[in-house]
A and B are shown apart, each in its own frame.
Chain A
Amino acid sequence: QKEVEQDPGPLSVPEGAIVSLNCTYSNSAFQYFMWYRQYSRKGPELLMYTYSSGNKEDGRFTAQVDKSSKYISLFIRDSQPSDSATYLCAMMGISNFGNEKLTFGTGTRLTIIP
């Protein structure tokens, strides 16, 4: 079983819809939770960065973390065709090095239909 599980999709929704993406994880040491967006043949670009449980909002994007359920979500409101990309969840704990590798989900491929 992978440490981070993410439905690979593909997911297609009409423009203007609310998109819900999520990941589950098994490692209780994870404390930092991120969502990255990756366009085709590009590197991942950070969208949201959250520490521990709770909600964080930035424009049309809302990230939620529920550590008790080991479940994180990303919501996209008023989705636009430019939001079409692969969305990767990523998580990190704290090691003796003061930082640790990011552990990623497989990514969900999202298409917004005009």
Chain B
Amino acid sequence: GAGVSQTPSNKVTEKGKYVELRCDPISGHTALYWYRQSLGQGPEFLIYFQGTGAADDSGLPNDRFFAVRPEGSVSTLKIQRTERGDSAVYLCASSQDPTDTQYFGPGTRLTVL
């Protein structure tokens, strides 16, 4: 079966612009996670969805970051007024239930010029 997919694979934008990053989880997985990985670092948690609701958004760095999962499947991470410090790989993961393994997508590499 298909794994977690993320689009686009690469995104280059200018400082101040708005971007949307998309995640398609594994079919049937109710839990969805967003992480951010900076160069030479491990992934850092951003937000966790259980179904349609954001169960834990404690990792979002500020109010420029927002994520939705309106139908409990696909999720979109939205970043307003992008800054150069937002440049990183944004990873999405999904799991079948809260205690199950998290399976990661290939990530979206965001570069803010």
Contact = CB atoms under 8 A, between A and B. Distances in A.
A107 B42 CA distance: 6
A44 B56 contact: no
Interface stretch (A13-21, A57-65, A69-77, A95-103): A95-103
Nearest to B106: A43
A104 B44 contact: yes
A94 B43 CA distance: 19
Given A44-B104, A97-B98, A8 B40 contact: yes
Contacts of B99: 32, 94, 98-99
B103 interface: yes
A104 B103 contact: no
B101 A46 contact: yes
The interface centre, meaning the residue of B42, B99, B106 with most chain A CB atoms within 10 A of its CB, is: B42
Given A49-B101, A95-B56, A98-B99, A106 B106 contact: no
Interface residues of A, number: 28
B91 A102 contact: no
B98 A98 contact: yes
B50 interface: yes
Interface string B22-45: 000000000101010000111111
Contacts of A101: 33, 45, 48, 56, 59
A99 to B, nearest CB: 3
A7 to B, nearest CB: 12
A99 B48 contact: yes
B40 to A, nearest CB: 7
Nearest to B9: A41
Contacts of A32: 99
Given A88-B42, A106-B41, A107-B42, A43 B105 contact: yes
B91 A44 contact: yes
Given A98-B50, A99-B99, 5 more contacts: A8-B40, A43-B104, A46-B101, A99-B50, A99-B95
9 closest Cβ pairs, A-B complex: A104-B42, A99-B98, A101-B45, A43-B104, A98-B98, A97-B55, A43-B106, A44-B104, A106-B42
